Chain A
Amino acid sequence: MTTASPAAVETVDLDETPLRELNKRLHQLGEPPEPAAWRVVNPGGRHAIAVGIDADVEVDVEGHVGYYCAGMNKRAAVRVHGNCGVGLAENIMSGSVTVEGNASQSAGATGRGGLVVIHGDASSRCGISMKGVDIVVRGSVGHMSAFMAQKGRLVVCGDAGDGLGDSIYEARLYVRGSVAALGADCIEKEMRDEHLVELRELLEGAGVGDADPGEFHRYGSARQLYNFHIDHAGSY
């Protein structure tokens, strides 16, 4: 009896192949995608690696990437074995983007769905204007994270910088460590059973199952800023 041969992995060396060619090939994948596993070597901090994929593929990037890696991702599972520059997984729609190192500013910005996992730290504005994406950060996040966050969940296993959740709408924020300061209209909220369940699922889904949901605090909107108050009609 023979075993099935392992799925072919397509290796693309960005010192040899132009980045546009890599992205074009990823955009032209059919259904089912062939090959379904990609390995990108020598990323060299280039910008816009593996952006705009809409296919059930796995892409492993071996090294550090520049700005906007895996932006607008749909369905694909992109994994960066290194650090990321500004705008990781910006406007992600679905699928997952995982970073083994740190991510710079605005990771997961405006994301509408899917999962972003950062095993190191994320710097400022992580999850800014998030609209449904789930973001799990194993380390800490910088200032103004989840600014104007509308929907989705941001989980921070370390600490959060100044102005967390400023002008937040209906996203839910879970932080295990300290919060330097909450932003305008962001308050701490009760951690009910349903939140513990939700958080455990998020942590396990991100491969961070060793973190205890009971150690986290929940933050969200006080709903004083974005609601129109009829009582205040005279002052508008």
Chain B
Amino acid sequence: MCGIVGLFSKSASINEHLGEHLGDMLLELSDRGPDSAGVALYRNPAPAGSTKLSLHSADPDYDWEALEVELDNRFGSSQPDVRASHAVFVVDAEPQPLQHWLHERRPELRVMSAGSSLEIYKEAGSPREFVKRFALDNVQASHGLGHTRMATESAVTTDGSHPFWTGLDLCLVHNGSLSNHNWVRTRLRREGIEFETENDSEVAAGYLTWRLAEGDSLEQALESCLGELDGFYTFAVGTADGFAVLRDPIACKPAVMAETDDWVAMASEYRAIAVLPGAADANVWEPAPATVYSWDRQPVA
């Protein structure tokens, strides 16, 4: 099963409360995914030349302050924004040397995301617990994605939870199951893409990462999924400027979209959209199979 949600703000009032709205949407889809939950939030872009990192530690008493001192001495770093098992740092370094350094010095940490504005938080456990622990109600953001997971293809762990980070400021949430993920994973490993889990959705994320590295636009990368990925899926992909939605050609996995003057939303079921302000008067439709839908922030005139 699984539930996915996406919310893209077109107004200051939605921006201000985006975390709270996304949390409300997730709670509506708790029974589609009681095993784990996660969100990707796009907010507070890091200054040019620095990188925003979301890190996860399995140790609840992890000493983030010590890491901050070390990062600051080596590169220059902000104070960490700690939420439950995650911490977000803005570090004065390019993503690659920074990740390399972390891998060498702090192999116990998992990088959940890297980029300029993306933050990813995810954890095994009920969506209700998640929304509370990660205090989503006080988060402003321009847009975000969320996921509630009912595990089918791999274990219930933080690593197997969604969203999956797929590249700088890019992430994926997935409802469905892929049947050829082992073969695609093997091929992608040959192309140098690394995988952390046996999860099928991570393969979809890795496939997009590979296509984008090969020079595809996001739309091209998604369209090529239609030929390469066998199975059931509704994907929502977050980018620095917006998000995109794709359903497989059979389209067994549900999806509904809605738009008002203040927001664009997608969800597995309409009840997750019904909790948004003005939903009753929104334009509501079902995305067609095998068709890429995308929203971008309009450049300010």
Query: Cα distance A85–B285 when bound, in Å?
Result: 10
Query: Cα distance A66–B274 when bound, in Å?
Result: 10
Q: Note all chain B residues with C-beta closer than 8 A to A86.
A: 254
- State how many residues of chain B have any CB contact under 8 Å with chain A: 16
Residue A150 at the chain B interface, CB threshold 8 Å: no
Q: Note all chain A residues with C-beta closer than 8 A to B285.
A: 102
Contact yes or no, B280 A83, CB < 8 A: no
Contact yes or no, B274 A105, CB < 8 A: no
- State how many residues of chain A have any CB contact under 8 Å with chain B: 19
Contact yes or no, A63 B280, CB < 8 A: yes
Contact yes or no, B286 A45, CB < 8 A: no
Within 8 A of B (CB), among A27-49: 44-47
Chain B residue with Cβ nearest A83: B284
| A155 → chain B closest CB, angstroms | 21
Residue B271 at the chain A interface, CB threshold 8 Å: yes
Residue A123 at the chain B interface, CB threshold 8 Å: yes
Contact yes or no, B271 A123, CB < 8 A: no
Q: A64-B284, A124-B289 are in contact. Are A83 and B254 (CB under 8 A)?
A: no
Residue B262 at the chain A interface, CB threshold 8 Å: no
Neighbour of B271 across the interface among A66, A83, A143, CB < 8 A: A66
Chain A residue with Cβ nearest B271: A45
Within 8 A of B (CB), among A165-181: none
Residue B266 at the chain A interface, CB threshold 8 Å: no
How many residue pairs link A and B with beta carbons under 8 A? The number is 45
B271-301 near A? 1/0 per residue, CB < 8 Å: 1111100001000111011000000000000
Residue B269 at the chain A interface, CB threshold 8 Å: yes
Within 8 A of A (CB), among B32-87: none
Query: Cα distance A44–B24 when bound, in Å?
Result: 13
Contact yes or no, A102 B271, CB < 8 A: no
Within 8 A of B (CB), among A51-102: 63-64, 66-67, 83, 85-86, 101-102
Query: Cα distance A142–B254 when bound, in Å?
Result: 14
Query: Cα distance A46–B285 when bound, in Å?
Result: 17
Q: Note all chain A residues with C-beta closer than 8 A to B289.
A: 124, 142-143
Q: Note all chain B residues with C-beta closer than 8 A to A83.
A: 270, 284
Residue B251 at the chain A interface, CB threshold 8 Å: yes
A98-113 near B? 1/0 per residue, CB < 8 Å: 0001101100000000
Contact yes or no, A45 B288, CB < 8 A: no
Contact yes or no, A66 B269, CB < 8 A: yes
Contact yes or no, A64 B254, CB < 8 A: no
Neighbour of B269 across the interface among A45, A124, A143, CB < 8 A: A45
A selection of 9 A-B contacts at a CB cut-off of 8 Å is A44-B271, A64-B274, A64-B284, A66-B271, A83-B270, A85-B256, A101-B284, A124-B251, A124-B289
Please report B residues at the A interface, Cβ cutoff 8 Å: 251, 254, 256, 269-275, 280, 284-286, 288-289
Please report A residues at the B interface, Cβ cutoff 8 Å: 44-47, 63-64, 66-67, 83, 85-86, 101-102, 104-105, 123-124, 142-143
Additional A-B contact list (15), CB under 8 Å, known A67-B269, A105-B251: A44-B274, A45-B270, A63-B280, A64-B280, A83-B270, A85-B269, A101-B284, A102-B284, A104-B254, A104-B256, A105-B254, A123-B286, A124-B251, A142-B289, A143-B251
